[in-house]
Protein backbone atom coordinates (compact mmCIF):
# COMPACT_ATOMS: atom_id res chain seq x y z
CA UNK A 1 0.00 0.00 0.00
CA UNK A 2 1.40 3.41 -0.90
CA UNK A 3 1.61 5.71 2.07
CA UNK A 4 -0.27 9.00 1.66
CA UNK A 5 2.04 11.98 1.31
CA UNK A 6 1.46 13.92 4.51
CA UNK A 7 3.74 16.80 3.55
CA UNK A 8 1.64 17.85 0.56
CA UNK A 9 -1.39 20.08 0.92
CA UNK A 10 -4.20 20.44 -1.62
CA UNK A 11 -5.40 24.05 -1.63
CA UNK A 12 -8.90 25.19 -2.63
CA UNK A 13 -8.56 28.57 -4.33
CA UNK A 14 -11.57 30.83 -4.91
CA UNK A 15 -12.21 32.25 -8.36
CA UNK A 16 -13.79 35.70 -8.58
CA UNK A 17 -13.00 38.74 -6.45
CA UNK A 18 -10.64 36.90 -4.08
CA UNK A 19 -8.57 35.24 -6.83
CA UNK A 20 -6.02 38.05 -7.28
CA UNK A 21 -5.24 38.41 -3.58
CA UNK A 22 -5.08 34.63 -3.18
CA UNK A 23 -2.63 34.16 -6.06
CA UNK A 24 -0.44 37.01 -4.76
CA UNK A 25 -0.36 35.25 -1.37
CA UNK A 26 0.53 31.91 -2.96
CA UNK A 27 3.31 33.60 -4.96
CA UNK A 28 4.78 34.95 -1.74
CA UNK A 29 4.73 31.40 -0.35
CA UNK A 30 6.74 30.21 -3.33
CA UNK A 31 3.91 28.34 -5.06
CA UNK A 32 4.00 28.75 -8.84
CA UNK A 33 0.70 30.34 -9.92
CA UNK A 34 1.66 31.29 -13.51
CA UNK A 35 -0.41 28.47 -14.99
CA UNK A 36 -3.50 29.52 -13.01
CA UNK A 37 -3.10 33.16 -14.01
CA UNK A 38 -2.78 32.12 -17.66
CA UNK A 39 -5.72 29.76 -17.66
CA UNK A 40 -9.18 30.74 -16.49
CA UNK A 41 -11.05 27.64 -17.68
CA UNK A 42 -8.92 24.89 -16.21
CA UNK A 43 -9.99 23.96 -12.66
CA UNK A 44 -7.45 21.44 -11.41
CA UNK A 45 -3.71 22.22 -11.21
CA UNK A 46 -2.13 19.07 -9.91
CA UNK A 47 1.51 20.17 -10.09
CA UNK A 48 0.82 23.12 -7.78
CA UNK A 49 -1.67 21.14 -5.63
CA UNK A 50 -4.42 23.65 -6.35
CA UNK A 51 -8.10 23.33 -7.23
CA UNK A 52 -10.07 26.42 -8.22
CA UNK A 53 -13.79 26.93 -7.63
CA UNK A 54 -16.49 29.42 -6.66
CA UNK A 55 -15.80 30.89 -3.19
CA UNK A 56 -19.03 29.41 -1.83
CA UNK A 57 -17.87 25.89 -2.80
CA UNK A 58 -14.56 26.17 -0.90
CA UNK A 59 -16.00 25.10 2.52
CA UNK A 60 -17.68 22.10 0.86
CA UNK A 61 -14.45 20.80 -0.65
CA UNK A 62 -12.49 21.46 2.53
CA UNK A 63 -15.13 19.90 4.82
CA UNK A 64 -15.06 16.67 2.84
CA UNK A 65 -11.27 16.61 2.65
CA UNK A 66 -11.17 16.97 -1.16
CA UNK A 67 -8.91 19.93 -0.31
CA UNK A 68 -6.84 20.14 2.90
CA UNK A 69 -7.03 23.90 3.17
CA UNK A 70 -8.88 26.64 1.37
CA UNK A 71 -9.32 30.35 1.08
CA UNK A 72 -12.73 31.96 1.11
CA UNK A 73 -14.59 35.02 2.37
CA UNK A 74 -15.95 35.35 5.90
CA UNK A 75 -19.33 36.02 4.24
CA UNK A 76 -19.29 32.47 2.85
CA UNK A 77 -18.39 31.02 6.27
CA UNK A 78 -21.14 32.99 8.03
CA UNK A 79 -23.66 31.75 5.48
CA UNK A 80 -22.60 28.11 5.92
CA UNK A 81 -22.22 27.76 9.72
CA UNK A 82 -22.94 24.01 9.60
CA UNK A 83 -19.71 23.27 7.74
CA UNK A 84 -17.19 21.47 9.91
CA UNK A 85 -14.04 23.35 8.97
CA UNK A 86 -11.41 25.09 11.11
CA UNK A 87 -10.93 28.81 10.58
CA UNK A 88 -7.19 29.35 11.01
CA UNK A 89 -6.31 32.85 9.84
CA UNK A 90 -7.72 36.20 8.83
CA UNK A 91 -5.78 36.89 5.64
CA UNK A 92 -6.76 40.56 5.62
CA UNK A 93 -7.35 40.97 1.90
CA UNK A 94 -10.65 41.07 0.02
CA UNK A 95 -12.20 43.44 2.56
CA UNK A 96 -15.95 43.91 1.96
CA UNK A 97 -18.87 45.13 4.00
CA UNK A 98 -22.13 43.27 4.42
CA UNK A 99 -24.74 46.05 4.41
CA UNK A 100 -28.45 46.74 4.47
CA UNK A 101 -29.32 49.01 1.52
CA UNK A 102 -32.52 50.43 0.08
CA UNK A 103 -33.69 52.81 -2.62
CA UNK A 104 -32.36 56.29 -2.09
CA UNK A 105 -34.80 58.85 -0.78
CA UNK A 106 -38.09 57.04 -0.21
CA UNK A 107 -37.47 55.26 3.14
CA UNK A 108 -39.22 52.11 1.91
CA UNK A 109 -37.70 50.03 4.70
CA UNK A 110 -38.75 52.37 7.48
CA UNK A 111 -42.23 52.80 6.06
CA UNK A 112 -42.83 49.07 5.68
CA UNK A 113 -41.77 48.52 9.27
CA UNK A 114 -43.97 51.37 10.58
CA UNK A 115 -47.13 50.52 8.64
CA UNK A 116 -46.92 46.75 8.10
CA UNK A 117 -44.76 45.71 11.05
CA UNK A 118 -42.40 43.80 8.80
CA UNK A 119 -40.00 44.35 5.91
CA UNK A 120 -39.25 42.34 2.78
CA UNK A 121 -35.55 41.93 2.14
CA UNK A 122 -33.82 40.35 -0.87
CA UNK A 123 -30.41 38.73 -0.44
CA UNK A 124 -28.01 36.05 -1.56
CA UNK A 125 -27.18 35.56 2.14
CA UNK A 126 -30.43 34.39 3.81
CA UNK A 127 -28.78 33.19 7.04
CA UNK A 128 -26.81 36.40 7.60
CA UNK A 129 -29.85 38.55 6.74
CA UNK A 130 -32.21 36.52 8.97
CA UNK A 131 -29.79 36.73 11.89
CA UNK A 132 -29.24 40.47 11.46
CA UNK A 133 -32.95 41.35 11.44
CA UNK A 134 -33.66 38.95 14.32
CA UNK A 135 -30.86 40.48 16.41
CA UNK A 136 -32.17 43.97 15.76
CA UNK A 137 -35.71 42.91 16.66
CA UNK A 138 -37.38 43.49 13.31
CA UNK A 139 -39.76 41.11 11.56
CA UNK A 140 -38.33 40.42 8.11
CA UNK A 141 -39.43 38.29 5.19
CA UNK A 142 -36.23 37.14 3.52
CA UNK A 143 -36.45 36.67 -0.25
CA UNK A 144 -33.55 34.64 -1.61
CA UNK A 145 -32.35 35.63 -5.08
CA UNK A 146 -29.46 34.19 -7.05
CA UNK A 147 -28.57 36.99 -9.45
CA UNK A 148 -28.20 40.77 -9.12
CA UNK A 149 -29.80 41.68 -5.82
CA UNK A 150 -29.83 45.40 -6.71
CA UNK A 151 -32.72 44.77 -9.09
CA UNK A 152 -35.08 43.57 -6.37
CA UNK A 153 -35.87 46.88 -4.61
CA UNK A 154 -35.94 48.80 -7.93
CA UNK A 155 -38.78 46.62 -9.23
CA UNK A 156 -40.77 46.69 -6.00
CA UNK A 157 -40.08 43.05 -5.19
CA UNK A 158 -38.70 44.05 -1.78
CA UNK A 159 -38.18 47.04 0.51
CA UNK A 160 -34.44 46.58 0.90
CA UNK A 161 -31.50 44.25 0.40
CA UNK A 162 -28.66 42.68 2.37
CA UNK A 163 -25.59 42.40 0.18
CA UNK A 164 -21.82 42.45 0.12
CA UNK A 165 -20.13 45.58 -1.20
CA UNK A 166 -16.47 46.45 -1.62
CA UNK A 167 -16.66 50.01 -2.92
CA UNK A 168 -20.39 50.73 -2.91
CA UNK A 169 -20.24 51.63 -6.59
CA UNK A 170 -22.76 49.08 -7.89
CA UNK A 171 -25.18 50.15 -5.18
CA UNK A 172 -24.76 53.84 -6.04
CA UNK A 173 -25.13 53.20 -9.77
CA UNK A 174 -28.46 51.53 -9.06
CA UNK A 175 -29.63 54.41 -6.90
CA UNK A 176 -29.37 52.44 -3.67
CA UNK A 177 -28.00 53.78 -0.40
CA UNK A 178 -26.35 51.97 2.47
CA UNK A 179 -28.45 52.17 5.64
CA UNK A 180 -26.62 49.86 8.07
CA UNK A 181 -23.44 47.85 8.25
CA UNK A 182 -24.07 44.21 9.20
CA UNK A 183 -20.44 43.08 9.41
CA UNK A 184 -17.03 43.37 7.76
CA UNK A 185 -15.76 40.38 5.78
CA UNK A 186 -12.20 39.49 4.73
CA UNK A 187 -10.55 36.42 3.22
CA UNK A 188 -9.99 33.54 5.66
CA UNK A 189 -7.78 30.47 5.63
CA UNK A 190 -9.79 27.36 6.51
CA UNK A 191 -8.69 23.77 7.09
CA UNK A 192 -10.14 20.27 7.09
CA UNK A 193 -10.28 18.96 10.70
CA UNK A 194 -8.64 15.64 9.87
CA UNK A 195 -5.88 17.12 7.67
CA UNK A 196 -5.26 19.64 10.45
CA UNK A 197 -4.05 16.72 12.60
CA UNK A 198 -2.61 14.31 10.06
CA UNK A 199 -0.77 17.00 8.07
CA UNK A 200 -0.03 19.21 11.09
CA UNK A 201 3.57 19.92 10.17
CA UNK A 202 2.88 21.06 6.59
CA UNK A 203 -0.06 23.13 7.77
CA UNK A 204 1.83 24.81 10.61
CA UNK A 205 4.67 25.67 8.23
CA UNK A 206 2.23 27.31 5.83
CA UNK A 207 0.41 29.22 8.59
CA UNK A 208 3.76 30.37 10.00
CA UNK A 209 4.91 31.64 6.62
CA UNK A 210 1.65 33.54 6.07
CA UNK A 211 1.98 35.11 9.51
CA UNK A 212 5.44 36.22 8.43
CA UNK A 213 7.26 34.04 10.93
CA UNK A 214 9.53 32.84 8.13
CA UNK A 215 9.97 29.30 6.84
Spatial separation of the C-alpha atoms in residues 53 and 42, rounded to whole Å: 10
- Minimal distance, residue 184 CB to other proteins, in Å: 12
Tell whether residue 78 is a contact of other proteins (CB under 8 A). Answer: no
Identify the CA nearest to 202 among candidates 36, 53, 66, 11: 11
Q: Which residues contact 169 (CB under 8 A, 6 or more apart)?
A: none
Per the CB < 8 A criterion, the answer to whether 186 and 98 are in contact is no
Beta-bridge partner residues of 52? 13
Binding mask 13-52 for other proteins (x = CB under 8 A): ----------------------------------------
Residue spans of beta strands (DSSP E) within the chain: 11-14, 44-45, 50-53, 69-73, 86-90, 96-103, 119-123, 140-144, 160-165, 176-185, 187-191
Identity of the residue, 88 or 143, whose beta carbon is nearer to other proteins in the bound complex: 88
**Binding residue for other proteins, selected from 46, 82, 135, 173, defined by CB under 8 A:** 82
Q: What are φ and ψ of residue 162, in 5° steps?
A: -115, 120
Tell whether residue 95 is a contact of other proteins (CB under 8 A). Answer: no
Question: How many chain residues bind other proteins (CB under 8 A)?
Answer: 29
Tell whether residue 166 is a contact of other proteins (CB under 8 A). Answer: no
Spatial separation of the C-alpha atoms in residues 165 and 162, rounded to whole Å: 10
- Minimal distance, residue 108 CB to other proteins, in Å: 33
**Binding residue for other proteins, selected from 57, 63, 150, 163, defined by CB under 8 A:** 63
Tell whether residue 214 is a contact of other proteins (CB under 8 A). Answer: no
Per the CB < 8 A criterion, the answer to whether 106 and 124 are in contact is no
Residue range at the interface with other proteins (CB under 8 A); choices 88-96, 119-127, 154-162, 168-176: 88-96
**Binding residue for other proteins, selected from 20, 104, 200, 213, defined by CB under 8 A:** 200
Identity of the residue, 57 or 159, whose beta carbon is nearer to other proteins in the bound complex: 57
3-class SS of residue 31: coil
**Binding residue for other proteins, selected from 86, 130, 154, 202, defined by CB under 8 A:** 86
Interface positions with other proteins (CB under 8 A): 1-2, 4, 6, 62-66, 82, 84-90, 188, 192-198, 200-201, 204, 207
Amino acid sequence: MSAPDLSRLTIAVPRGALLGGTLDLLDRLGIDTAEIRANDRKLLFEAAGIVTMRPSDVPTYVEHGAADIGITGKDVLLEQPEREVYELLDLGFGRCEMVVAARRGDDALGEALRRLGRVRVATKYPKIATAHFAETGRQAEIVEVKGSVELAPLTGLVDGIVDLTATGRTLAENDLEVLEQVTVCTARLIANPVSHKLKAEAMDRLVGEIRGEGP
